[in-house]
Amino acid sequence: MPSSLSTLKALGAAMAVLFFVAQPAAAQNSFRPTAEAVQEDKLLNALKEGDKISGRISIPDANAANLIQPAGRDWRDFHRSKLPIIGGVAILGMVVLLAVFFLVRGRIRLDHGFSGTKILRFANFERFTHWLTASCFIVLALSGLNISFGRILVLPLFGAEAFSTMSTYAKYAHDYLAFPFMFGLVAMFLIWIKDNIPNRIDLQWIKQGGGILANGQHPPAKRFNAGQKGIFWIVIIGGSLMSLSGWFLLFPYLPADVTALQVWTVIHAVIAMLFIAAMLAHIYIGTVGMEGAFEAMGTGEVDLNWAKEHHSLWVEEEKAKAPSGSTPRALPAE
Amino acid sequence: MKVFLAALVFAAIAAVGVAMVLNNIQQPSSVAFTTGGARVGDPGNNLIGPG
């Protein structure tokens, strides 16, 4: 009995020693989730570009299986920080540039005034195509800018409810007016491509700055000068890129996955900013920037002196086509 | 002016026409991306869509 008692005491002492010795080690091995769990940033950064953390689902939307797509953070960062800079520099920069140009150069006026004789510059279908594409473009541009910057610029002005209603209808307009815009783009390409092939005359026009930098300079030009050809190709190439990228946004996930979709939204947004800036320059020179220019698309007829100053070779071509002694398709002043 | 107005009218008609065609050939998201068990009773006024 004494033996067993001493054995029991010894065992108790050993357990006590073990308890005090083992306690710090046990504390060190306790579960500490914030210290030992996989860090989210480390996990996401380990994924390669385009990788996703996906699961398995049973609903028909396969894309819902993607739980986390790290590239989405870069995409969100682009829209929040880089796109406003690109848009601001391109659009506001163009507005400032045009304002400065107007203040320095003033309106480009006809050197010899209006002749009173008009010449048909654009047929009805050409003007229809221009205004179809232009009117769609204006709605697409404004509604697109609202998508990108409306939350920052428009929401504080009108409040959440009005902004929500307006944005909903603007989004519908953006989606569906894209189709007549694409139709107009194709029609424009077909009817004006033959007059917009670059040639050596354009180099001369460019060397002289288009004659718009100083009074009295009028480099020769055919139906479209180099500046107008530039606008044509900006519209065709820019419009095609906008249409292609827009098509992928209209029908998301049909052509590719969410990563490709994000790439196309970036392309859509950047091209849109540059496109809008270029069209501001086009609108300026076609309205307040140049005397007599708006009539070309307004009524289809321009003054003969305007045509001779800005498209001298085109006037000669038209004269050559006309019966002797008359100006082709010339119309008396109204 | 007539040409300009004609262009506006054409754009509006084309946009409405495309909207009608797309609405006819596409399913609403409440149908296309859910199974029968997950569908809500009245998608227009119940969780999905305007309401």
pLDDT on residue A4? 59
- Written as six digits, the tokens of B24 are 């006819």
B chain contacts of residue A172, beta-carbon cutoff 8 Å: 19
pLDDT tier for residue B14 given thresholds of 50, 70 and 90: very high
pLDDT on residue A332? 42
The position carrying tokens 């209603």 is A165
Q: pTM of the full predicted structure?
A: 0.80
Ranges under pLDDT 50 in chain A: 1, 26-27, 331-334
Q: Using the beta-carbon criterion (under 8 Å), do B35 and A59 form an inter-chain contact? A: yes
Q: Show me where the domains of chain A are located.
A: 72-332
| Residues in CB range of A113: below 8 A, 6 or more apart | A305
B chain contacts of residue A127, beta-carbon cutoff 8 Å: 3-4, 7
Q: Is residue B9 within a helix (H) or strand (E), and if so which, with residue range?
A: helix B2-25
CB atoms within 10 A of CB A299: 17
pLDDT on residue A34? 63
Cα–Cα distance measured from residue A231 to residue A1, given in angstroms and rounded to the nearest whole number: 110
Q: Which residues make beta-bridge pairs with A332?
A: A117
Q: Is A176 on the interface with B (CB under 8 A)?
A: yes
ipTM of the complex, rounded to two decimals: 0.78
pLDDT on residue A333? 40
* Contact status, residue A46 vs residue B22, Cβ threshold 8 Å: no
For residue B18, the distance in angstroms to the closest alpha carbon of chain A comes to: 7
Cα–Cα distance measured from residue A321 to residue A319, given in angstroms and rounded to the nearest whole number: 5
Q: Is A169 on the interface with B (CB under 8 A)?
A: no
Per-residue pLDDT tens for A155-170?
999 999 999 999 999 9
Chosen CATH of A72-332 out of 1.10.3720.10, 1.20.950.20, 3.40.228.10, 3.40.50.300: 1.20.950.20
pLDDT on residue A217? 82
Q: Using the beta-carbon criterion (under 8 Å), do A127 and B4 form an inter-chain contact? A: yes
**More confident call, B33 vs A17:** B33
